[in-house]
Chain A
């Protein structure tokens, strides 16, 4: 039986990013991974697209390439995906 998917949180997104595109750069002493631009974390546009592919496969979240490239940080990608998940659930 397939495991139920964990709720999509910033930690889960970080994990998916890691699996899709490798470990990001250390965001520095201020921590705050969520609001650090993808580029500062060392993730280029394809890394984010690859991650969006996983969101689509695992969570059924369909994001257009434009939406994905406009989501500049993990938090904004997460917000976008979660809005899409709750919209399809309601």
Chain B
């Protein structure tokens, strides 16, 4: 079977807009988490988030501004960077040869909030006609497709925060089928009062007001996570097609993927390592690699004691105790919904490129977890194969195996 190459990517993250800004911030341990500025957060049980603030007019054509949610604008910026990085001109590809697969957890929530506000404050005639699609889960796929003329099979994957990795898997399916290239991944975020009500209702957010005390996954003091916005979009290409068009660079390969679901919806809902362990084992088998081949694991890192313990147990059951370095760069951004999986994937590719594992911040991992979590300073390491994990609410578990360029 032909390899699936990653030939480009674009990153939008709370600690950096664009790949190189982000990577510099990650290696320097610069966090993008702070007090919410998008709205007044004091009346809510959590006040911290990883916001991506930027001037859309500086990045996007004026006609796209009135019709897009913030997360869609960020998606378009990431897609543009990814295509540029891959030097892929869709107009020179077969008309139906390039597709888009994105994931997200909420759609254009902030846009919807604004229009609800218009509805109740000013009346129905003040609701934007663009509300008809701007709120929708599939909107990022649609807008990227329209902007770049991508007419190949396209879709959207919704499996909460695991969706970003599942989007990469869906892209691989499309490449095996008929497409030559797919833009895939996720840029997510719903930072608005309406979205915040939904997010905080889980009771899983850190109540801390000091960013250095919030979102400390695997730490005995872990008290929840911090949400953020952003993510990454990647260009995946079928190997022969990439060679044929002369793709200027290969960042790496998507070697394997698996998704599992658990516990059973009719069960007691106990948090268990089993679904994640199974996802890891299946992804390794899919990639035809052994646990010993994995040079680093990018953890999901829920920031909740029971979920952290389950993830640690899943990792150690496959690899052994402290047998593989674990990276948690999302301590610098917060959890970006579906965006985190693709962002971790892109970060893993940068880590492979530069031979360095980025550090987690603010967390002092409990030794009882048995994980070798890289903290404090970046750790130099020759990386060939990296495992990326992502879990979503309601039982979604996904694992992706990313390899260095051959």
Interface residues of chain A, those whose CB is within 8 Å of chain B, are 18-24, 42-43, 46-47, 49-50, 53, 56-57
| B39-69 vs A, Cβ < 8 Å mask (1 yes, 0 no) | 0000000000000000000000111111100
Interface residue from B62, B125, B130 paired with A46 (Cβ < 8 Å) = B130
Interface positions, chain B 282-340, Cβ under 8 Å from A, are none
Interface members, chain B 102-160 (any A CB < 8 Å): 125-126, 128-130, 132-133
A56 proximity list for chain B (CB < 8 A): 125
B139 to chain A, nearest CB (A): 13
Q: How far is the CA of A23 from the CA of B61 in the complex (A)?
A: 8
Task: Select from chain A the residue with minimum beta-carbon distance to B126.
Answer: A57
Tell me which of B61, B125, B129 contacts A22 (CB under 8 A): B61
Assess whether B61 is in contact with A50, with CB atoms less than 8 Å apart: no
* Known interface pairs A22-B62, A53-B129; 5 further A-B residue pairs with C-beta atoms within 8 A, sorted by A's residue number: A18-B62, A22-B64, A22-B65, A46-B133, A57-B126
Residue in A closest to B123 when the chains form the complex, CB atoms: A57
Which residues in A have their C-beta under 8 angstroms from that of B67?
21-22, 46-47
Task: Check B129 against A24 for contact (C-beta < 8 Å).
Answer: no
Contact A50 B62 (CB under 8 A): no
The complex places the Cα of A43 from the Cα of B62 at a distance, in Å, of: 12
Shortest C-beta distance, B388 to chain A (Å), equals 37
Please give me the 10 A-B residue pairs with the lowest Cβ-Cβ distance, nearest first: A22-B63, A22-B62, A23-B62, A50-B129, A49-B129, A46-B129, A57-B125, A56-B125, A22-B65, A22-B66
Given contacts A46-B130, A46-B132, A50-B130, contact A23 B125 (CB under 8 A): no
Q: Is the interface of A mostly helix, strand, loop or mixed?
A: helix
Contact of B126 with A21 in the complex, beta carbons under 8 Å: no
A sample of 22 inter-chain contacts (CB < 8 A) reads: A18-B62, A22-B61, A22-B62, A22-B65, A22-B66, A22-B67, A23-B61, A23-B63, A42-B63, A43-B63, A46-B130, A46-B132, A47-B63, A49-B129, A50-B66, A50-B128, A50-B130, A53-B125, A53-B129, A56-B125, A57-B125, A57-B126
A23, B64: Cα distance in complex, Å: 9
Residues of A within 8 A of B64 (CB): 22
- B residues 7-65 near A (Cβ < 8 Å) are 61-65
Task: List B contacts of A19 (CB < 8 A).
Answer: 66
B residues in contact with A24, CB < 8 Å: 63
A31 to B191, CA, bound (A): 42
Q: Determine the chain B residues whose CB is within 8 A of the CB of A46 once the complex forms.
A: 67, 129-130, 132-133
Looking across the interface, which residue of chain A has its beta carbon closest to that of B127?
A: A53
CB distance from A29 to the nearest CB of B (A): 21
**Docked CA distance A2–B62 (Å):** 28
Residue of B nearest to A51 (CB): B129
Instruction: Tell me, in angstroms, the Cα distance from A2 to B64 when the chains sit together.
Output: 30
B129 CB contacts on chain A under 8 angstroms: 46, 49-50, 53
Identify the closest chain B residue to A52 (Cβ): B129
Task: Tell me which residues across on chain B come within 8 A of A49, comparing CB atoms.
Answer: 129
Residues of B contacting A43 with CB < 8 Å?
Answer: 63
The smallest beta-carbon distance between B112 and chain A, in angstroms, is 16
B56 nearest CB across to chain A (Å): 11
Chain B residues lying within 8 Å of A18, measured Cβ to Cβ, are 62
The smallest C-beta distance from B65 to any residue of chain A, in angstroms, reads 6
Chain B neighbourhood of A21, CB < 8 A: 63, 66-67
CB distance from B402 to the nearest CB of A (A): 38
